[in-house]
Amino acid sequence: MAEDLTVRDVMTTAYAGVSESDTIRDVIDLMIEDGVSGVVVVRGTEAVGTVTERDLLRAVTTGSIPVETGIASVMSGSGPSIKPEVPLSEAASALSAGDRHQLLVRNGGGLVGVLTPQDVLTAAASGRSLPENEFETMAGEPESTTEDTAYSTQSVCEICGSLMPELVSVNGQAVCSDCRRV
C-alpha cells in the first residue's frame, strides 16, 4: 500500500443514508438496489449510527425482530470516526481492530465520507505503479513488450471486493463472475 495515501484519497463520499424511522425492510431494499453493504443512519444531518449486512442478517435470521421494525432497533452506534487526513495504513489498522465494517470519516463535526475494508483493499491492490510501456487489461494482467511477470494477474471486483483472476465490465463496473450472475 502506498505510504502517502490518506483516508481522503480512498474513502467513499457517495454513501447511502437512511433515517432512524426507516424500516428494516426499506433499508434491505435500498442496500440491494444501491449494491451497498452498509448504510449510515442519520438524524437530520448528523450521523447517529450505521447498519451493515451483518447487522441485518443477525436481526432477521433470529426471527425475533419483524422487518417492519424501525432500523434504529438494529443499528450500531456511529462508533469511532476518523479524519480524512489520517494515513491509510493507520485507518486500515482501525478497521481491523474489533468488529468494525466501516468507519465514518468526519472533518470537524461533519460527515464527509465512509471508509470500508473494500476501499482499503482496492487501494492496496491498485497501489503499484506500472512502467510507462505497460497498461493493465480489465483482468489485471499487464501487457508489455518485456517479459516481466512480477505483476499480479488478479483484480478487485468493484461489487464484492474479492480478488479475482478475470473481471468483465457490467454497467461500467469491473465485476467477477459471481457478481455478474446476480
Q: What pLDDT, in 10s, does the model give residues 72-121? A: 998 888 777 899 999 998 888 888 876 667 888 998 878 899 888 888 88
CATH architecture, domain defined by 7-122: Roll (3.10)
Task: Say what the pLDDT of residue 133 is.
Answer: 35
- What are the residue ranges spanned by the domains of the chain? 7-122, 134-180
- Residue 5 to residues 8, 81, 82, 112: CA-CA distances in angstroms? 8, 18, 14, 17
- Rounded to whole angstroms, the Cα distance separating 134 from 79 reads 43
Task: Say what the pLDDT of residue 140 is.
Answer: 47
Q: What pLDDT, in 10s, does the model give residues 23-52? A: 999 999 999 999 888 899 998 878 898 998
Contact 8, 53 (CB under 8 A): no
Mean pLDDT rounded to a whole number for the chain: 77
Q: Answer whether residue 64 shows pLDDT above 70.
A: yes
Phi, psi of 7 (to 5 degrees): -55, -40
Task: Say what the pLDDT of residue 95 is.
Answer: 83
Task: Say what the pLDDT of residue 3 is.
Answer: 60
Instruction: Identify the three-state secondary structure at position 73.
Output: helix
In this structure, of 20-24, 63-67, 102-106, 174-178, the range with the lowest mean pLDDT score is: 174-178
Amino acid at 127: G
